[in-house]
Amino acid sequence: MLGMREEKMPELRQDIITGNWVVIAKERAMRPSDFSVQSVCATEDLQNCPFCPGNEPMTPLELYAVRPKGSPPNSSDWEVRVIPNKYPAFIESEMFSSSKYNLPKRDSRGLHEVILHSPEHCLDIATLPREKVELVLRVYRIRYYSAGLDPEVKYVHIIVNHGMESGASLEHSHSQLFGMPFVPPLVQQELAGSSWHMKSRGNCIFCDLISLEMEEKERIVLQSDSFLAIAPFASRFPFEVWILPRIHRESFADATDEELEELSSVLKEVLRRYSEGFKNPPYNYFIHSAPTDGSDNSYYHWHIELFPRLTRLGAFELGTQMMINTTTPEVAASYLRGQVLQ
């Protein structure tokens, strides 16, 4: 056990994959009940929700959907629906190449899709039936694979923002897929760290981390045959969780049907525990996976990173690109382990 004195002391922890340092510093005596950011779903105004069934004309034409046989595209009897983002961060078409400014810029080429989880406005991944979550994950894999075929797309980033505080601008539960024209900085850091580890040790750094976490046990949130959910040692956020496939696979596209079935349970269960532990908090998750740029990334290991949005980033974090986390991962894992169904 940590002594009282030690428990209050800030410490620096390094993520072994990226090399990034995090300050773990207890602000006051933060208990889980001290966090009270709630994300309440307001069901009143559904006729104006562009993602609710019946409002398909309010969205761009669909790219893909899970529907009954014979149901025409853009009709309202879909189960999962994929549409282009109306206000894209990355766009498919060729555009202007203005040389108006003397500073470096380029076209934001790529894809930006929205994946509607279900016709139900308020059911998120935590509250949808497991089979429906599995369906969403299968749609992820289909769209991930399809986006990766686009020669402009070098990296596919799939995310969820749940609740306004998490960055969501529309309430109806949905994911976003970004087909990016380059590998983003944080993934480049992970690639560099895992490539270095493979070259110097001959192992996948994520596989080594899984072994170490299975041995230390203290940061395990839950485990299944094929997945391990841990509170990472250098967690950037309070109650951050990583879900790692226990079998080495570089890309989310390589996940098997059986793995997606199991993942649907694990993902739903972690989010259910957030919901249970913090009364439906806003949360984010994203998938980190190998680039789709044709390079050899066999040393990489895909995974999901999740965190409830219980605290706010300030000028320390935004001015240093370094996080202060007020909850130790060991406390977080212990708390999340306790949030089992009664």
Q: Considering only residues 205-234, where is the footprint of a copy of itself by CB under 8 A?
A: 212, 216, 233-234
Residue 239 binds to a copy of itself (criterion: CB under 8 A): no
Are 168 and 122 within 8 A, CB to CB? no
Contacts (CB under 8 A) with a copy of itself, residues 81-120: 87-91, 95-96, 98, 100-108
Listed residue (242, 245, 265) closest to 332, CA to CA:
242
Nearer to a copy of itself, 23 or 123 (CB): 23
Nearer to a copy of itself, 66 or 170 (CB): 170
Residue 198 binds to a copy of itself (criterion: CB under 8 A): no
Using only C-alpha atoms, what is the Rg of the chain? 20
**Which position among 298, 324, 334, 337 is part of the footprint of a copy of itself (CB under 8 A)?**
324
**Which position among 5, 69, 199, 217 is part of the footprint of a copy of itself (CB under 8 A)?**
5
Are 28 and 34 within 8 A, CB to CB? yes
Nearer to a copy of itself, 161 or 280 (CB): 161
The β-bridge partners of 111 are: 179
Residue 289: count other Cβ atoms within 10 Å of its Cβ: 26
Give the dihedral of Cα atoms 215, 218, 224, 229; nearest 10 deg: -120
The two tokens of residue 276 are: 């249970």
**Which position among 26, 246, 248, 337 is part of the footprint of a copy of itself (CB under 8 A)?**
26
Residue 173 binds to a copy of itself (criterion: CB under 8 A): no
In whole angstroms, the minimum distance from the beta carbon of 41 to a copy of itself comes to 17
**Which position among 49, 123, 164, 220 is part of the footprint of a copy of itself (CB under 8 A)?**
164
Distance (Å, whole) CA 321 – CA 176: 24
Are 166 and 39 within 8 A, CB to CB? yes
Residue 34 binds to a copy of itself (criterion: CB under 8 A): no
Nearer to a copy of itself, 5 or 199 (CB): 5
Contacts (CB under 8 A) with a copy of itself, residues 248-267: none
Query: To 5 degrees, how large is the angle CA 157–CA 161–CA 162?
Result: 150
